Structure 1
């Protein structure tokens, strides 16, 4: 008996059906993958944006909250004997001063508007903060005649050229250290030396005008406190990555005995615009009655302007944040109101470049702790 050996395969129609079904399944898998990837990119971009905004607000809030801090009771007897009293040392006049980006009037400590990394962003606000440092030293003996303090304890961290604040229950003075001796635990505040130097060795109020060598006598007794002066400026600048704008900070440093604002530090990027308004109250213990821009606090004279800034009891920060990636289906053409300032993709006023990145507004209100005379 013969055996028949037959082989049978798929027909062309069966192969075409199989290929079609495979393509349909593959298309579904690809769509699921792309959808999951897009969801992941969206969630990651939003998470990074929230993280950046939280860091920026925390950095600003921490220094804003302590503007004007000093370790003693505040009084009206305030003497700054540092020559010239530059903006970065104007502790008594205005330890908090804002700058309105809409008019572009900034002092020389801020960089100019530009397109390179670190250059200031047009239309964004800025702020200067001055405060006493957190680490204080107690006075043991103050010899006003020889302009020398001896401090309690076995050491201190002051060096020549440091700007410090000394205070007791009645007076406060700002001075530059002309000689810091770690071995003897002393600091000297003579005039006629250092940069910018002290105009007088007398630390009493008022400071004579014109200043004299001995000035107004004042001896700080045992237990008086000495702290370093810390000064910061915050502004919005072009990011080094070129991807978005960044929050920058400059701080007061001692450069070989000369106080100066150091190099700009890039803190966090992803900020389209920074807007700040200031809460004004009739006295330091009342809540803010209205919020105004920095321009609205500028008076006809320097004294009037400083008095207006002394009435600020809170600060409202507004950030227009932008995602690092283009995750939207279409270009963003919205108008955003950031604490009273409209920012649009086109037209008059503040603008941003329309793209497919998403934008979000984050705000925070900071209560100032060190307002007025107590």
Structure 2
């Protein structure tokens, strides 16, 4: 429990640092260089995708290194790289230095290491609860980061916030170094081997879980791109659209923060597959209904519903995969899971970019709902009694 608390605090702090730029990226980029709106939008898109590229390249290897060299050591290395990225963004005065800092954020793979560490130190009866609490910590950082970033950029500068975030991460790293204990390494199961991506792709259950995770993340990141366009089209004469977008996104994260531990508790008591399907269909329904809604308070209710359902999805994927694989390979499979999720992060906005000339801003909601729906269907068609290394060991 002591280790878990430290890791959750670290998760919230690092997520804040990752998310502080998300809603204001074009505005901040414009303060670094003299450029027009289209150039700022171009660099903003690159900066938003840069961490995903770094994570995609390194996540499988970092997960494997956690299993091989130890979780505490890999966490401290990841924290050092993350702190370097924050300092580079805070102290850099050009867009190129900022881009390098964003890329380093992804290379740090801090989210992968924290997820693997949290899952590894939790036993089979409480892993769902631990992953639920982690999802809540992520939502807390994602809720606070954009709010603080917007206020600081409007009334002062983002650099003090970046330096403070780097300092807090450094303090967290020092505490983790002195207080965190390395978990006992799990013994591999004799006669059974895990070959990474080959094993995942050869087993239909694992393959469907990974593809579902990819589709869900594609839907989530596509929705981020679409939502501001949707609100502008739905309320063309409305005022303070940017503020409404920020508030409605915050409502979604608030619902995620509150609902995530409950989903984790339910997953511990039953099969994650069941709750993933319910939550994915809930996300599809709450997203699709936006097309026929034209009242802001109803949109707010749907965002709360969507956030509460989304809270179940990623933690259910990680828990289901961990139950099918040996504990000695937990870091490796977590890295692979995150890689599939990152592919979705990149694919979702790309899909919206391709569909923009074809669909109206309001109609773009439909592809997002379809992605959530297909993700749920993939897991629905999984075999109920799935292959499990843990059962073979027993």
TM-score range, shorter chain: under 0.3
TM-score when normalising by structure 1: 0.27
Higher share of residues assigned strand: 1
Q: In terms of Rg, which structure is larger?
A: 1
* Structure with more contact order per residue of length (Cα contacts < 8 Å, sep ≥ 6): 2
Higher share of residues assigned helix: 2
TM-score when normalising by structure 2: 0.26
